[in-house]
Amino acid sequence: MVGTTWEATFEAAVVDRPNVRWSLGLVADRSRHEITEFNRRCFRTGSGSAFFRCAGETLGTMYGTRFLTSVAELPEGLPANQFQVNDDGLVVWVGEGGNWRNHQWGTSASLEGTTYGWGMPILQLDEGGSSAVVRIGDSNPDFNWGLSSNLRYGSFTVYALVNSQVGGNVYNRTKQRMYQYFRSGDTDQAGRPQELKKTTDYYSTLYAANLINQWFVEPAGYVKLREVSLRYRVPRTALERMAGVGISEASIFATGRNLFTWSDYSGYDSDAGTPLARIDDFVYPQYRTMTMGLEIRF
């Protein structure tokens, strides 16, 4: 295996005066790990077998099944005019002259030896007629970055840290399981226009017997306010008035961590799993914590 990592660090003192100091720090990195030799049969591994191990593959690449998203992907011989792309971006059978908005749930047709249910998503097949296993995502982000700010003004110090992941994917296995039991918000049809409502069979098809599939691959990018802290250092002149107590330093502080997350991820936290196996499998999100304290040195 060969790994390549690029890192960059930039630090600057924006203001540097006797009573005011403000510094900024910027870090960024990007890593890739490629399997160059694999003296055994290639196989999938990880939770639900989402990740592929084979020579020439990058660690973190996701493999699984996928549903058709274009009529052009249909097997040869099928009448393309009987299929449409629905509002979820998936190819479904609607029959001759049909429309996915005009519900005909429960009807089906046999075409080229395969039965297609009305409005149901269609899996991509391989040459043998089985569900094709293809590349569906990549855990590796395009890059990561972080920005820190440290401001000291007199006896006050304010520190803040923002970090971000740009690009990459996470597999939402929690959501997939919720499809099985119809507990996901996606399966709730309340308030939807009548033409957009789906049956429970539709979501059972997407659940796909818990097999890894592209429907549950989501963007893993995020921006997080990782930390904000405020510290007040008691002036030395005030401590000198309490010389009999023997306090040499004293400060009051408040710190908040994992305060806010901005992300397109539909689950709790896209920062789940490991850097090379991003799977959200019923894991708790990172906790938001608030800490206050008094620090005294004698």
Average pLDDT score, the chain: 92
- Give CA torsion, residues 87, 92, 95, 98, to 10 deg: 0
Q: Are residues 80 and 142 in the same domain?
A: no
In three-state secondary structure terms, 237 is: helix
Rounded Cα–Cα distance for residues 276 and 62 (Å): 10
Rounded Cα–Cα distance for residues 272 and 279 (Å): 6
Mean pLDDT of 242-263: 86
The type of residue at 267 is G
What is the tens place of the pLDDT at every residue in 48-104? 678 888 898 899 999 999 999 999 999 988 999 999 999 999 999 999 999 999 999
Rounded Cα–Cα distance for residues 271 and 275 (Å): 9
Helix (H) or strand (E) holding 177: helix 173-180
pLDDT, residue 121, reads: 97
Residue that terminates a domain, selected from 96, 122, 148 = 122
Region of poorest pLDDT, from 46-60, 83-97, 198-212, 263-277? 46-60
Q: Are residues 162 and 265 in the same domain?
A: yes
Mean pLDDT of 222-245: 84
Mean pLDDT of 196-225: 95
Q: Are residues 128 and 223 in the same domain?
A: yes
Q: Are residues 272 and 234 in the same domain?
A: yes
Q: Are residues 44 and 146 in the same domain?
A: yes
Region of poorest pLDDT, from 16-20, 147-151, 235-239, 257-261? 235-239
Q: Are residues 164 and 182 in the same domain?
A: yes
Given a cut of 80, whether residue 241 has pLDDT beyond it is no
Q: Are residues 219 and 111 in the same domain?
A: no
Q: For the chain, how long is the longest CA-to-CA vector?
A: 95
How many distinct structural domains can be found in the chain? 2
Q: Are residues 29 and 149 in the same domain?
A: yes
pTM confidence score: 0.88
Residues spanned by the domain of 11: 2-67+123-297
Question: Cα 172–176–181 angle (5° rounding)?
Answer: 145
Rounded Cα–Cα distance for residues 206 and 175 (Å): 11
Instruction: For 90-102, give one letter per residue: b (16+ CB within 10 A) or e.
Output: bbbbbbeebebee
Q: Are residues 103 and 37 in the same domain?
A: no
Rounded Cα–Cα distance for residues 126 and 63 (Å): 14
Q: How far from chain centre, in Å, is Cα 54?
A: 24
pLDDT, residue 156, reads: 95
